[in-house]
Amino acid sequence: MAQQIWFITGSARGFGRALAAAALDAGDLVVATARKPGHLADLGDRHGDRVLPVSLDVTDADAASAAFDRTLERFGRIDVVVNNAGYANIAPIETAPRDDFRRQFETNFWGVYNVTRAALPILRAQRSGTIVQFSSIGGRVGSTAGLGSYQAAKFAVDGFTRVLASETAPFGIRCLVVEPSGFATDWAGSSMDIQAFPPAYDATVGAIAGIMGTATTQAGDPGRAAEILVNVVKRRDLPSHLLLGANAARMALDYSRRQIAEADLWQAVSVSADFDQTYPVGFPDEVPQ
């Protein structure tokens, strides 16, 4: 595929930085965005005018539009938009500060919305482009105690992107949701605030807080993942979702098997709710305690 122009949010560190480096190493051009573009200076030093550092807070819709204006002025088009910026704090839903819960959602969902919406008129006019949304295995499986805001936002990103893909396919726009498990970034380190919580949540939220920064959350290699993603995006055939990491693959398969088993078990009850179906029907046997 010809040289591509990437627009990547959250490029200062973590997945965003690894992906910017991988795209540049592949010979592509990169618009690297961060709230503090000074953190991107080394990319410019290494790659010169092949990288455009841009200041962007993804929660600011006007700033997102301005960032794309700068991109077009410099490169004339956009081929890949990557919504990577995001973070998580840990707290039980019961006691998490409302403002913090909302701020996380503002970045993790509304930031994706702002950047995607600003990009769409450009991609639609080009009749081409790929939108890559960074979710999480938690955005498919969920249920990680303490990550209520983060995982709710990732579920929202997935639903949003499924509709987006349906609406924009006629314009030649492709969508990909990336679902990593734990990787060696600072997502579970300096970027995360583990907030105080009541002792009643020690066995659930406390257990999750205890593994942050350990091998469980650091198993994946961001450099490998970034190289994989660059090569996947260059394919003609794109998956709708890309799991990254051994834990992500295992958890997704286990979850899908449980979903199928449960839907099959309750199928007769589900069908009986329609007017033209037999009703009532028996419920499945209770599981012994």
pLDDT digits (tens, 9 = 90+) for 119-154: 999 999 999 999 999 999 999 999 999 999 999 999
For the question of residue 154 being annotated catalytic, the response is: yes
Question: Which region, left, alpha or beta, applies to residue 30 given φ > 0 means left and ψ of -120 to 50 means alpha?
Answer: beta
Q: Catalytic: which of 135, 136, 149, 181?
A: 135
For the question of residue 181 being annotated catalytic, the response is: no
- Residue 105 pLDDT > 70: yes
- Quote the CA–CA distance of 238 and 229 in Å, as a whole number: 11
- Quote the CA–CA distance of 214 and 246 in Å, as a whole number: 16
Q: For residue 50, with 0-12 CB atoms within 10 Å meaning exposed, 13-18 middle and 19 or more buried, which class applies?
A: middle
pLDDT the model gives residue 188? 63
Grade residue 180 by pLDDT with cuts at 50, 70 and 90.
Answer: very high
Burial 212-226 (b: 16+ CB within 10 A, else e): bbeeebbebebbebb
**Cα dist from 97 to 62, 100, 108, 154, 193, whole Å:** 28, 5, 17, 19, 12
The tens digit of pLDDT for each residue in 55-86 reads: 999 999 999 999 999 999 999 999 999 999 99
> Helix H segments across 83-235?
98-105, 111-126, 148-168, 207-211, 222-233
- Quote the CA–CA distance of 26 and 4 in Å, as a whole number: 9
Higher pLDDT among residues 42 and 148, named by residue: 148
Interacting residues of 8 by C-beta distance below 8 A, sequence separation 6+: 16, 19, 20, 23, 30, 31, 32, 33, 82, 84
**Cα dist from 250 to 29, 219, 226, whole Å:** 34, 14, 20
With tokens 């998956």, the residue in question is: 239
- Quote the CA–CA distance of 96 and 102 in Å, as a whole number: 10
Contact status, residue 96 vs residue 151, Cβ threshold 8 Å: no
- Domains of the chain and any CATH numbers: 5-268 (3.40.50.720)
Average pLDDT, rounded, for the chain: 94
Q: How many CB atoms lie within 10 A of CB 249?
A: 14
pLDDT the model gives residue 218? 81
pLDDT the model gives residue 44? 83
Contact status, residue 116 vs residue 129, Cβ threshold 8 Å: no
pLDDT the model gives residue 281? 97
- Quote the CA–CA distance of 123 and 131 in Å, as a whole number: 9
- Write down the pTM of the prediction: 0.95
Contact status, residue 251 vs residue 141, Cβ threshold 8 Å: yes
Q: Catalytic: which of 11, 154, 181, 201?
A: 154
Contact status, residue 81 vs residue 123, Cβ threshold 8 Å: yes
Comparing CA positions, the residue from 31, 118, 111, 133 lying closest to residue 79 is: 31
For the question of residue 234 being annotated catalytic, the response is: no
pLDDT the model gives residue 237? 95
Grade residue 1 by pLDDT with cuts at 50, 70 and 90.
Answer: low
Q: Catalytic: which of 113, 136, 150, 201?
A: 150
Beta-sheet pairing, 5-8 with 129-134:
unpaired
